[in-house]
């Protein structure tokens, strides 16, 4: 699911320019000595100390996502957080911009279907001053009419341009079909109609309901003393209301049978996406499925592009939502043929084509890409938050590579047979290029 602003690397995206277990009550770190956890008035705080790093990344995450919204107020959370970062009682917009730009501090926000965040990126030497500004954004935003209108213009422009590219149009069409009747049908960025009607008082009221510690998670990564950070957090957030937020599970999606939907659009070629169910980050099947999708991605590229030249950029992808999906996709003048080739590659994995040697090669691949993606403090904060909110707890992030290495061929085969079925295909382009009946038969 590709929403307007962000996907899996929400926090990394927000602060890209910047940059083992513990007792919740005492904050005492274990032998790993890197991550401290403590509670401040119901606010869970994770601090990862990375000695020697010159920057600090901090993210305040808000649970719930679109589960807390309705079609009538879609986008209000994203809009509220965005306007909050425009100015506060202590730091009006001009002063906020001057003080952050003078030291290269970044404060921004973003929302996806499962959660939202306010993010801070700064240098270690300017952390204390940047923290004061950041926490004032959280606690004391002003929602001035001029700030609201400025941000409204940005949102509306972005929303109106979502379908300008063929890829964006495919995503919009796919989402409207796949998520019909599901909470994920609500756009976290809202619609032109909803964003156009919000008033400053609406944002202030939503902010008051949003900033409750039972709904919040704070993650900070940098070369900082956790005890000192705890004191700062207590001073800034210790008096916020707790609230009584309880995270609710999100319903499963409908993958009971394969479907084919063709949307007629005047494009140079056809854009195809086939979506199927997938395990989420907290599911034991996730690691086998991630390996399976990585193998499928490589094989699809070789077969569809390199050998048959059916598509320039065929792909297979595993999503990152609480209720998760995976997909195959391609842009092609011969959609039936391209989909048939991709289905053949799925069948091979279901039959057990992935052996121990290929898993070993995948382990080396994941080792390399994992460490590359974890180079920044922002990326590490993002992973801790993602696992804490959607992956059964941040501790599960510590054994990602170990779990990938322990995947067995039979687990990959089982995951492929369990999830890679009842594929729902959406095609945007020329209906004359699609044999819909034949395509549906091939999906059976």
pLDDT in tens, the chain (444 residues): 444 333 334 444 444 333 322 233 333 333 244 899 999 999 999 999 999 999 999 999 999 999 999 999 999 999 999 999 999 999 999 999 999 999 999 999 999 999 999 999 999 999 999 999 999 999 999 999 999 999 999 999 999 999 899 999 999 999 999 999 999 999 999 999 999 999 999 999 999 999 999 999 999 999 999 999 999 999 999 999 999 999 989 999 999 999 999 999 999 999 999 999 999 999 999 999 999 999 999 999 999 999 999 999 999 999 999 999 999 999 999 999 999 999 999 999 999 999 988 888 887 888 888 778 888 999 999 999 999 999 999 999 999 888 998 999 999 999 999 999 999 999 999 999 999 999 999 998
pLDDT of residue 361: 83
Same structural domain, 213 and 293: no
Report pLDDT for 360. 85
Domain hosting residue 348, numbered range: 259-443
Q: What pLDDT is stored for residue 5 in this prediction?
A: 36
Domain holding 100: CATH number?
Answer: 3.30.830.10
Question: What pLDDT is recorded for position 357?
Answer: 87
Query: Does the residue 254 lie in any domain?
Result: no
Same domain? For 169 and 277 the reply is no
Last residue of a domain, one of 170, 202, 237: 237
Q: Looking at the structure, tell me whether residues 200 and 143 fall in a common domain.
A: yes
Q: Which two tokens stand for residue 68?
A: 């807390």
Q: Looking at the structure, do residues 16 and 160 belong to the same domain, yes or no?
A: yes
Spatial neighbors of 382 by CB under 8 A, at least 6 apart, are: 9, 10, 11, 12, 59
Do 158 and 15 fall within a single domain?
Answer: yes
DSSP state of 66: G
- Do the domain assignments include residue 242? no
In a domain, 141, yes or no: yes
- Please give the model's pTM, rounded to 2 decimal places: 0.91
What is the tally of structural domains in the chain? 2
245 phi/psi in degrees, rounded to 5: -70, 135
3-state secondary structure of 439: helix
Position 410 in a domain: yes
Q: Residue with structure tokens 């719930």?
A: 64
Query: Based on the domain organization, do 112 and 32 belong to the same domain?
Result: yes
The angle, 0 to 180 degrees and rounded to 10, between the axes of the packed helices 409-419 and 286-300 is: 80
Look at residue 253 and tell me if it is in a domain.
no
Sheet holding 315-318, edge to edge: 259-264, 424-429, 270-278, 324-332, 315-318
Q: Are residues 345 and 429 in the same domain?
A: yes
Nearest CA among 215, 195, 141, 225 for reference residue 4: 195
Q: What is the pLDDT of residue 1?
A: 40
**Statement to judge: residues 278 and 224 lie in one domain:** no
- Residues 212/245, Cβ–Cβ less than 8 Å: yes
Claim to verify: residue 29 and residue 92 sit in the same structural domain: yes
243, 214 in Cβ contact below 8 A? yes
Identify whether residues 193 and 302 lie together within a single domain. Answer: no
Answer yes or no: do 154 and 58 share one domain. yes
**101 and 50 co-located in one domain:** yes
């Amino acid at each position: 699911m590709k929403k307007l602003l962000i996907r899996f690397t929400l926090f990394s995206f927000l602060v890209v320019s910047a940059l083992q277990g513990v007792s919740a009550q005492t904050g005492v770190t274990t032998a790993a000595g890197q991550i401290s956890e403590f509670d401040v008035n119901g606010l869970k705080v994770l601090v990862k100390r990375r000695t020697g790093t010159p920057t600090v990344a901090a993210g305040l995450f808000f649970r719930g996502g679109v589960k807390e919204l309705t079609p009538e107020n879609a986008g209000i959370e994203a809009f509220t957080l965005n306007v909050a970062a425009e100015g506060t009682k202590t730091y009006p917009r001009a002063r906020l911009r001057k003080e952050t730009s003078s030291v290269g501090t970044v404060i921004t926000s973003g929302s996806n279907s499962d959660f939202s965040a306010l993010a801070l990126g700064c240098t270690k030497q300017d952390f204390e001053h940047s923290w004061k500004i950041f926490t004032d954004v959280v606690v004391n935003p002003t929602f001035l009419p001029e700030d609201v209108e400025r941000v409204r213009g940005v949102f509306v422009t972005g929303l109106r341009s979502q379908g300008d590219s063929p890829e964006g149009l495919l995503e919009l069409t796919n989402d409207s079909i796949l998520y019909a009747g599901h909470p994920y049908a609500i756009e976290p960025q809202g619609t032109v109609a909803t964003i156009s009607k919000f008033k400053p008082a609406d944002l202030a009221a939503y902010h008051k309901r949003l900033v409750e510690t039972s709904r919040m998670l704070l993650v900070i990564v940098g070369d900082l003393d956790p005890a000192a950070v705890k004191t700062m957090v207590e001073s800034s957030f210790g008096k916020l209301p707790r609230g009584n937020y309880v995270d609710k599970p999100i319903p499963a999606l409908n993958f009971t049978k394969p479907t084919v939907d063709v949307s007629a659009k005047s494009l140079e070629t056809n854009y195809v996406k086939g979506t199927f169910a997938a395990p989420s980050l907290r599911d034991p099947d996730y690691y086998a499925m991630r390996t399976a999708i990585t193998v499928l991605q490589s094989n699809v590229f070789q077969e569809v592009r390199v050998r048959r030249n059916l598509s320039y950029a065929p792909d297979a992808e595993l999503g990152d939502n609480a209720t998760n999906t995976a997909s195959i996709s391609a842009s092609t003048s011969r959609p039936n043929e391209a989909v048939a080739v991709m289905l053949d590659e799925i069948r091979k994995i279901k039959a057990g084509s992935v052996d121990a040697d290929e898993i070993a090669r995948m382990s080396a691949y994941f080792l390399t890409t994992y460490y590359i993606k974890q180079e920044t403090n922002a990326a590490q904060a993002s992973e801790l938050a993602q696992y804490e909110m959607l992956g059964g707890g941040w501790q599960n992030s510590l054994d990602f590579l170990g779990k990938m290495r322990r995947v067995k061929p039979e687990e990959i085969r089982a995951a492929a047979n369990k999830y890679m079925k009842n594929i729902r295909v959406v095609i945007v382009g020329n209906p004359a290029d699609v044999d819909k009946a034949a395509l549906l038969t091939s999906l059976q």
